[in-house]
Structure 1
Amino acid sequence: MTPCITIPISIPKNTPLPKPTIKEIISTFLPTEWPHIDPEALAVTYTTGYANTNCIVSRPTPQDTTHSEPLKVFFKIHGPLDGEIEVFKHLVPTKHEEAHLCYEYGQSGLGAKVYGFFQTPDGTFGRIDEFLDARPLEPADVEDAGLRAEVARAHAVFHAMTPTQLRRNSIRGYSDAVMPQLARYYQMDKLKRLANEGGVNLDELVDYDFVSRLRKVVDRLDSIGAKGGWCIHDVQLRNVMVKNSPKLDESKVVLIDFEFVFRNYRGFDIGGHFVQKMFQWFDEENHIADCRPYMDEEKRHFCEEYAKQWNETTGDQDTGEQVFMEAELGMMLAISFEIHNMLCFMDQDDDKDPLNLLALNKMFGEFVSQYEKLGLIG
């Protein structure tokens, strides 16, 4: 398993990391050139994270010599709630397991290499990863057939992985965990009040019986022989990186963010990818993307490419149509994941941000329309 090194330093909780601290940590794993860098010469760029501290750290290019260690790394500090929504705590990987999964993914050539995994005396975990010369996937990217196929193949390979350290849960683990929680939020007056205070009416959503409908979705998935895989779950588009200068015969995309990886119906991630095209969670003006939804022909193309790669990896003989049917049902599981997490956030933190509420209502509309489209009513 990827060794975790204890580093005897203190990491500030509410202020940026001092450059000498950053240098000291990186030098633990890159001990040849990084220890000799003046910490004040480092360039540190912070990136957006939900519960993490993420930053890109660059050192100056040597003037007179070639360099054997990277000039730029990705530095991540795991937040205390990172990947630990209580209802999924028994399913998601521990920080050690996630680090090892990232290490295996990087060693395969599919993802960023992990240079090191560390822990501080107060129990804070962090990682130093290879910096990817890449940008987040945009909605317009998946309208390009070539790039869409790359994303499909990347998901198929990931889902078919055989991680050496992750706990193997039942394929129904997600639905068994989320349905009692959605039942708890059913008709909750507090949620209606918070939404109204935020200027958005969520009464119909809160009074909607997700549980009975999700049971039908899961039963239908089982009836068609839907397959499982190691799903990422957090499949927002920004968790797919598009390389700026890929090498010849190398995949143009890299999947990132494995804090919620556990076994589920593979259609969850595929359907989730389809619906996430319409959302931009970190935009400060609107969480709903200004774009058209995934078209049916684009979904079918994605599923065809996915099936080809899945079969090549596993030796199965799945068809694109089979994967498409699983994805259409899996989409509703993926939407329930977002709805649950947002209702949980409302309940715990009294959230009434109108941007979140409008996106939540949009998610609800997607669930209802998909449920009706698949003829599951009744």
Structure 2
Amino acid sequence: MKQQRMRGASVPRTARLTVGVLVVAAGALLGNGGPALADPAPPVAPAPADAAQQDDGCTVNQLLPYANCRWSRLYGLRLFYGADLHGIDLESSVLPRAELPGVIFGVTEGGGWSARLGSVNFSAADLSEAKMVGVTAWGVDLQRANLTKADLTGADLSYARMTEANLTDATLTRADLRDATLTGANLTRAQLADADLSGKDLTGTTLTGANLTGAILKGANLTGANLSGVDLSGKDLTGTTLSGANLTGATLKGANLTGAQLVGADLSGKDLTGTTLTGTTLTGANLSGKDLSGKDLTGTILSGANLTRAQLVGADLSRADLTGKDRSGADLTDANLTGARIENADARVTNFTRATLEGTNFHGTNLVLATLTGARLDTLTNFDGADLGWTIWIDGHHCTATSKGRCS
């Protein structure tokens, strides 16, 4: 009678759970790299097996779709290519240098939930070709991570740290990048269509061949960025910093560069048709031979810029800064230079015919053989220290070779 009761005794719940975990783990090992059982319907709220799992995270064998693995510590984790972890909750876990190529974190073709990866440490991890569509990854650490060909479509990457991450050929279409850090990241040929990069610090990033269709770049910092071959035509680049950027082969036609910073930019071979340059900083820029006729360059800073043989016919350069460097041979016929500064510049053979020079400062400028026929001056126009040798004066007569400060 005693033996019968022992055989019929119920198995403790903890033992049943242990057996269940072993069965699922065995199925995962014997199958094609994933659970042998059919993927269950998404639970309303994933729950840990017990309190210990919730506090201490998961072991490798517990990494399954929809598992609650928050706070896991899995240093140097290695999973097979294409491991399915969609719907898993890894928030605040630490997985630096993990090898997770092709891992599935996002929504699968069969539906379900995307993984929760908020504040996960993936620094220096291999996530190449990872499927991360729609994942919630706010504050995730992806510094120096390899995300080559990863699909991050619609992912929440707000506050993510992606400094020096490799995102070559990655898809970031409609990704939420609010307050994300991307300095030094490699975004070569990345898909950034409709991405909001406004105000983003993109210093030193590589965007060669990137797709920026519909992307917002207003106020972004692209100092020293590699933008070779990038199509920026028609873009609103108001307040954007492009100083020291590589613009080889980039297109700027019709772009709005109001208040933008293009210090040292080489624009000599660029088509600037329809481009807005009002208040733009072009210090040290190369604009030699460019046709900027009729443009509104009010308040534009062109100090040290190369304007050799540039066409500025009818341009509005009121309050512009044209101090220093070479302006020789430039055509400023009918230009408005009211209140402009052209101090200590080389303006030899420059054409100022009928230009408005009221309040213009030519202090120390070389105006040898320049033409001022019909130009409008006023009492504030300053020629102190200017070299006016052989300059054609406003009334059409030639100044003497030794004219200095005034035409004689």
The TM-score, its normalising length taken from structure 1, stands at 0.24
Q: Which has the higher helix share?
A: 1
Q: Which has the higher strand share?
A: 1
The TM-score, its normalising length taken from structure 2, stands at 0.22
Bigger Rg over Cα: 2
